[in-house]
Amino acid sequence: MPKAELHLHIEGTLEPELAFALAARNGVTLPYATEDELRAAYSFSDLQSFLDLYYALMAVLRTEDDFAELADAYLARARQQGVRHAEIFFDPQAHTARGVPIGTVIGGLSRALEAAPERHGITTRLIMCFLRDESAESALETFEAARPHLDRITAVGLDSAEVGHPPSKFREVYRLAREAGLKCVAHAGEEGPPAYVWEALDILGVDRIDHGVRCLEDEALVARLVADQVPLTVCPLSNVRLRVVDQLADHPLPAMLDAGLLVTVNSDDPAYFGGYVQDNFTALRDALHLDEETQRTLARNSFHASFLDEEVRAAYL
Ligand code: ES4
Ligand code: ZN
């Protein structure tokens, strides 16, 4: 089934095999002796325990070629899973903090993305995320550093440790992004409360909410999201691995669809959470008995919620 993937952290597609290959090439020593030993570390208790490993493994990404290879490997896998369009997050601050220039990151990723329509049959967009556990000033500096590259960036996003870092902290940088003509998204309502989803909508003016599963705790919020048909990029396997839900059979996705929310299915950090986007669809089908028609609705929603040009989007609907 053709689909768009709208919630995908490119750094979260770093498979152990590529991590070890890049470590060897760049002379970086990983705190794991083998790929199996690394995989054994993938048992997370919450978002923070995952983020600790996610940021540590990024040490192997150093050159433009590294970023291009990472993105190309994702695109090859994504196509095998039916992805025709991918809107891809990256975390510039996680790289600039290690001395990797933002131009190296954007240059490498764009090289792979520009080749993707011909090489993999996938169109793409790039979404630059700010780390919400870093300061508002750091986000502003990052935005200014990215200004020369904004022609390659479609939207800004907000990710990393949610609780204690409300969207309102980033009011200013989102205002600048909107002024520059960028779309806006933000992670909200993953581990954080419904109030953070309200702030993302009303203070940041986002076009989509990433995750948003906790919106169900607030009836008025659900009514607002339904009325405005704000897309929610839900990541079922991620929610299980990070213990946002106990098991897939308990996932609120069916309740979200029943409420009339514009839900999409995505893989988040597929190298860490046990599956790419079709794997998420298949797991949902098995655990929640989602029928064929519901799966088609979810796939159609993914194009509807995308930042593709109207004519291209319409052709998929
Ligand atoms: C993330 Cl699952 C998730 N949540 C928040 N920030 C992230 N960065 C990468 N994966
Ligand atoms: Zn995410």
**187 CB near ligand 1 (under 6 Å):** yes
Compute the residue count for the chain.
Answer: 317
Yes or no: say if 14 and 271 are a contact pair by the CB < 8 Å rule.
Answer: yes
| Dihedral sign computed on CA atoms, order 278, 282, 284, 289 | positive
* Predicted pLDDT of residue 288: 97
Mean pLDDT, residues 137-161 taken together:
98
The CATH number for 13's domain is 3.20.20.140
Dist. CA 191 → ligand 1 center (Å): 10
Ligand 1 centre distance from Cα of residue 67 (Å) = 19
Ligand at minimal distance from the CA of 11 is 1
Q: 232-285: per-residue pLDDT in tens? A: 999 999 999 999 999 999 999 999 999 999 999 999 999 999 999 999 999 999
Rounded to an integer, what distance in angstroms lies between the CA atom of residue 169 and that of residue 97?
20
* pLDDT for residue 215: 98
Burial class (CB in 10 A: 0-12, 13-18, 19+), 71: buried
Tell me if residue 190 is catalytic.
yes
What is the average per-residue pLDDT within 92-109? 98
Look at residue 268 and give its three-state secondary structure. Answer: strand
What is the predicted pLDDT for the residue at 25? Answer: 98
Instruction: Dump pLDDT digits (tens) for 20-29.
Output: 999 999 999 9
121 C-alpha to ligand 1 centroid (Å): 27
Q: Are 266 and 280 in contact (CB under 8 A)?
A: yes
> Rounded distance, CA 201 to CA 185, Å?
9
Q: What's the number of domains the chain is made of?
A: 1
Average pLDDT along the chain: 98
Measured N-to-C along each axis, helices 102-120 and 64-80 cross at an angle, to the nearest 10 degrees, of 30
Among all ligands shown, which has an atom nearest to the Cα of 191?
Answer: 1
DSSP state of 60: G
For the segment 51-59, the average pLDDT, to the nearest whole number, is 96
Q: What is the pTM of this model?
A: 0.98
In contact, 271 and 307? CB cutoff 8 Å:
no
What confidence category does residue 204 fall into, taking pLDDT thresholds of 50, 70 and 90? very high
Question: What is the value of ipTM here, to two decimals?
Answer: 0.97
Q: Residues 139, 273, 275, 1: is their CA dihedral positive or negative?
A: negative
Model confidence over 285-317: pLDDT tens digits? 999 999 999 999 999 999 999 999 999 999 999
| pLDDT tens profile 253-264 | 999 999 999 999
Do 83 and 277 meet the contact criterion of CB atoms below 8 Å apart?
yes
Residues spanned by the domain of 13 = 3-316
Can you give the pLDDT at residue 147? 98
pLDDT score for 254: 98
Of the candidates 15, 162, 190, 199, the residue annotated as catalytic is 190
3-state DSSP call for residue 114?
helix
Q: What pLDDT score does 114 carry?
A: 98
Cα separations in angstroms, 1 against 79, 102, 134, 298, 308: 11, 35, 39, 10, 18
The atom of ligand 1 lying closest to the CA of 242 is 2
